[in-house]
Structure 1
Amino acid sequence: MTFTIGLIAVTVRISAWSLGVMSRLRDAQEVKTRLAVAEERLRFGRDMHDVLGRNLAVIALKSELAVELAQRGQPAAMDQMVEVQRIARTSQQEVRDVVRGYRKADLRTELLGARGVLRAAGIECAVQGDGGRLPAPVQSALGWAVREAATNVLRHGNPQRCAIRLETAPDSARLVVENDGAPPGTAVVSGGGSGLHGLRERLAAVGGSLEAGPTGEGLFRLTAAIPLPSPRSTEPSPQEKD
């Protein structure tokens, strides 16, 4: 009798322990699900900012230029509005791609686009390097860096000149974007806005880092650095040679 009672007690305890474990597992799964949803929302918000930030700035810029040209009676106003229409349609497709999670930034396209946009805004822009031999994930991360940097140049200060340099070495890739016209007393960007925060996340995903802040005399510099994996040696070992 005593043995039976003891067995029942042990069985009850094991059952209670099992139920507790199952409950904790369910709670852990719910937490994991909520974290996944939160992460996806952050990704979506970051990508939407990156996609629409520069495009909306360019649309506003070209619309203002079209108005000025139209007021002067110049036919070039039509060309500017055609370009606004093209950018708007491109933005629609990019938003769809973000929703699907497929969009990637092409480094060469972003470099050419940044130069064209800044020059259209009356900002002299020089571009050095194209990063054609960099790994695809590195090119994508640096492409986003170019886009964010160009957006910041358009939005902040009164720049006249901008220099974009892509420096590559066997063990690293470095993007430097420097412009004049930074407002006096500009603070070093540590946390930054949502654009720079999202860019830091993209760079961190490939082991990179971001620095942005004034360098003095009205200059502002953004530097994105990414280490590159060491190339695998194709030289045969002494044993293979023998």
Structure 2
Amino acid sequence: MIQELNDEQLERYGRHILLDEIGYEGQLLLAQKRVAIIGLGGLGSPVALYLASAGIGQLTLIDFDQVDLSNLQRQLIHNQQRVGQNKAISAQQSVELLNKNVKTETITTKLTDDELLKITKQHDLVLDCSDNFETRYQLNRICHKCQIPLVSGAAIRWEGQVTTYDFRKNKQPCYQCLFPLKSNQGSIQESCSQNGVIAPLLGIIGSIQALEAIKCLLELPTLAGKLTIIDGLTMELRQFNITQDLSCPVCS
């Protein structure tokens, strides 16, 4: 584990170190953290790039999908030369070009609950950048079980949403409190591929996810207990309180 920042890191992260809320100690703390990113698509692209540029010590990039030409409209971590390549591998190449100080690992297979549980326990925070409900419910269950913070984002058409589930704290609501599984069955297959999405919206939501992750790792105030919704068409921003469902099968 890194014990101090070298001269190159001090220069690279100087604008962070100038912030009272981060400083030298905070930047050193970020360099000691391990973060897992699930999904290296529209949301995972800005998340991975911003966390790499921010100096997170290790990023584990998880995606079993391949880069497709239609992805390049919004998945800016990939490029035309990498069409057909695994997304996690492609993202790793971009991260390594951006910041050599960040260690990266890739997982290119679909994970079972047991495999994801083992991986989650090895990290300080998980970001849900997936594009399907099955993965979101799976990550919610496992992060709650491991008491690992989960930063969740989603975007479709013109609307995006983001929140943080800080399972390090007691009596925190979870994803299933917000979206009960039974009531969500009708939209379980909804995704960008069927409904479309405006490209810059993914950058907005993914950037907020990266910001939430940094704040959570530094134990600064986050969106825990709140859901932020952004309408990209009207540029309206709404925020709602999330309360724990006392009958939730995951967190109650």
TM-score > 0.5, shorter chain as reference: no
Short-chain TM bin:
under 0.3
Higher relative contact order (CA 8 A, sep 6+): 2
* Larger helix proportion of the pair: 1
- What TM-score comes out, normalization by structure 1 length? 0.26
- What TM-score comes out, normalization by structure 2 length? 0.26
